[in-house]
């Protein structure tokens, strides 16, 4: 099999199967800082198919959460806005939708597990009530029906002694159990698309693995399309089908996951991988990426990684396009040196 054909089969969707559940086309999201607007997400495009997991990776501040909030229609008002592009969820154009329609889509067709479970769960409402809420709102269930379904969902995400804990509050749950409550809320209405923003960062590795296995199982059963946001390339290797690397709001590399780990090509991806702890390397071999992601007003024009890039050339003052590699057309790289 050619490398290209092999790369293509890395993805889980077969040609001719159902279309993508989530389509993001040339999304640009801007953030206002001191009356000036800056593009924090630039020209980002991707698709996620049913049962597929697309991982969005990159250091803190590279635009992962803003991409997720743009899809959800939850950008902070007056501070963030989608400046251009189109987002389609299960056939509905979210960017053209009214606020009422967007709200109907959230929790119904599209669920999100937020980065911070403690701040996104309501501390003064019992968790069972919070899971039931969207069923009453979106599915028109009675309180009693919704409560019964909330119990089923708590069992589905394997919260032990669920019946006794329907009326407990978030602070009475451990971190891992809280994350499961978040998953139950996100899945209550059987959405087509699930966005998981760092769903396991706050958890220890054992619980992390349990939560990820649970998500994978639900995904298989319910046919979910998952957009997984994470810092952790180990998690990406374990659960993702495809990966998109972001830096300074740009997609710098995009590839099927096996192809990505076989042939990481953008200097930023290489740097991320070199900074990742691995069992087959000593801790001394770890190479942290020098410097940090500049703040929005300080991002350089052209390639945004140039200020930290060891391969920088003069041409980097211009923004390189995302170019498919000749050897693997499903693998795109935005770099004048590596994909000229």
Residue 58 or residue 128: which is nearer to ligand ATP going by CB? 58
Strands 242-247 and 250-256, sheet pairing: antiparallel
Q: Which of 9, 18, 36, 76 binds ligand ATP (CB under 6 A)?
A: 76
Q: Which of 2, 14, 60, 171 binds ligand ATP (CB under 6 A)?
A: 60
Find which of ligand ATP, Mg ion, none residue 296 binds, CB within 5 to 8 Å per kind: ligand ATP
Taking CB under 5 A as the rule, does residue 70 contact Mg ion? Answer: no
Residue 49 or residue 268: which is nearer to ligand ATP going by CB? 268
Taking CB under 6 A as the rule, does residue 61 contact ligand ATP? Answer: yes
Task: Provide, rounded to whole angstroms, the least separation between the CB of residue 91 and ligand ATP.
Answer: 26
Q: What CA–CA distance (Å, rounded) separates 30 from 40?
A: 5
Q: Cβ contacts of residue 216 below 8 Å, gap of 6+? A: 53, 239
Task: Provide, rounded to whole angstroms, the least separation between the CB of residue 109 and ligand ATP.
Answer: 23
Q: How far is CA 53 from CA 49, 122, 135, 225, in A?
A: 8, 28, 25, 6
C-alpha of 294 from chain center = 22
Taking CB under 5 A as the rule, does residue 208 contact Mg ion? Answer: no
Taking CB under 6 A as the rule, does residue 301 contact ligand ATP? Answer: no
Q: Which of 54, 62, 177, 235 binds ligand ATP (CB under 6 A)?
A: 62
The candidate with the shortest Cα–Cα distance to 44, out of 29, 65, 61, 54, is 29
Please count the residues of this chain forming the interface with ligand ATP, following the rule CB under 6 A: 16
Taking CB under 6 A as the rule, does residue 245 contact ligand ATP? Answer: no
Tokens 């980065």 identify what position?
115
Taking CB under 6 A as the rule, does residue 267 contact ligand ATP? Answer: no
Find which of ligand ATP, Mg ion, none residue 63 binds, CB within 5 to 8 Å per kind: ligand ATP
Please count the residues of this chain forming the interface with Mg ion, following the rule CB under 5 A: 1
Residue 188 or residue 195: which is nearer to Mg ion going by CB? 195
Entry field: residues in the chain: 340
Crossing angle (nearest 10°) for helices 127-139 and 143-156:
120
**HEC per residue, 178-204:** HHHHHHHHHHCCCCCEEEEECCCCCCC
Torsion of CA 298, 300, 304, 305, to 10 degrees: -90
Q: Which of 21, 29, 65, 67 binds Mg ion (CB under 5 A)?
A: 65
Taking CB under 6 A as the rule, does residue 20 contact ligand ATP? Answer: no
> Token pair of 13, please?
């969707």
Contacts with ligand ATP in 83-142 (CB under 6 A)? Answer: 115
Strands 22-33 and 36-48, sheet pairing: antiparallel
The candidate with the shortest Cα–Cα distance to 40, out of 70, 7, 73, is 70
Q: DSSP letter at 78?
A: T
Q: What CA–CA distance (Å, rounded) separates 336 from 322?
A: 10
Task: Provide, rounded to whole angstroms, the least separation between the CB of residue 66 and ligand ATP.
Answer: 3
Residue 65 or residue 179: which is nearer to Mg ion going by CB? 65
Q: What CA–CA distance (Å, rounded) separates 271 from 69?
A: 27
Q: Select the span of 58-66, 152-160, 252-260, 279-287 touching Mg ion (CB under 5 A).
A: 58-66
Taking CB under 6 A as the rule, does residue 235 contact ligand ATP? Answer: no
Taking CB under 6 A as the rule, does residue 40 contact ligand ATP? Answer: yes
> Token pair of 309, please?
């890039």
Q: Which residues bind to Mg ion, rule: CB under 5 A?
A: 65
Q: Which residues bind to ligand ATP, rule: CB under 6 A?
A: 31, 33, 40, 58, 60-66, 76, 79, 115, 295-296
């Amino acid at each position: 099999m050619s490398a290209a054909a092999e790369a293509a089969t890395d993805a889980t969707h077969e040609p001719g199967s159902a279309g993508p559940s989530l389509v993001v086309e040339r999304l640009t999201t801007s953030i206002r800082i001191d009356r000036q607007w800056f593009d924090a997400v630039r020209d980002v495009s991707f698709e996620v198919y049913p049962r597929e997991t697309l991982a969005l990776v990159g250091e803190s501040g590279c635009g992962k959460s803003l991409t997720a909030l743009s899809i959800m229609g939850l950008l902070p008002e007056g501070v963030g806005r989608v400046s251009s592009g189109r987002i389609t969820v299960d056939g509905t154009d979210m960017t053209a939708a009214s606020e009422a329609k967007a709200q109907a889509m959230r929790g119904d067709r599209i669920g999100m597990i937020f980065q911070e479970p403690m701040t996104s769960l309501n501390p003064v409402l019992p968790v069972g009530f919070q899971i039931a809420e969207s069923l009453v709102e979106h599915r028109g269930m009675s309180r009693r029906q919704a409560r019964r379904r909330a119990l089923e969902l708590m069992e589905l995400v394997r919260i032990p002694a669920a019946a006794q804990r329907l009326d407990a509050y978030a602070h009475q749950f451990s971190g891992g159990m809280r994350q499961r409550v978040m998953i139950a809320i996100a899945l209550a209405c059987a959405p087509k698309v699930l966005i998981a923003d760092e769903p396991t960062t706050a958890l220890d590795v054992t619980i992390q693995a349990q939560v990820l296995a649970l998500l994978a199982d639900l995904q298989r059963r319910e046919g979910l399309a998952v957009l997984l946001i994470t810092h952790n390339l180990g998690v990406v290797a374990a659960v993702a089908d495809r990966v998109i690397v972001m830096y300074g709001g740009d997609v710098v590399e995009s590839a099927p996951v096996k192809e990505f780990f076989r042939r990481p090509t953008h200097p930023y991806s290489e740097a991320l991988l070199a900074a990742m702890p691995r069992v087959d390397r000593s801790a001394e071999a770890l190479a942290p990426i020098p410097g940090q992601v500049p703040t929005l007003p300080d991002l350089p024009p052209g390639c945004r990684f140039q200020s930290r890039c060891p391969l920088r050339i003069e041409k980097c003052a211009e923004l390189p396009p995302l170019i498919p590699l000749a050897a693997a057309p499903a693998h795109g790289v935005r770099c004048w040196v590596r994909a000229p």
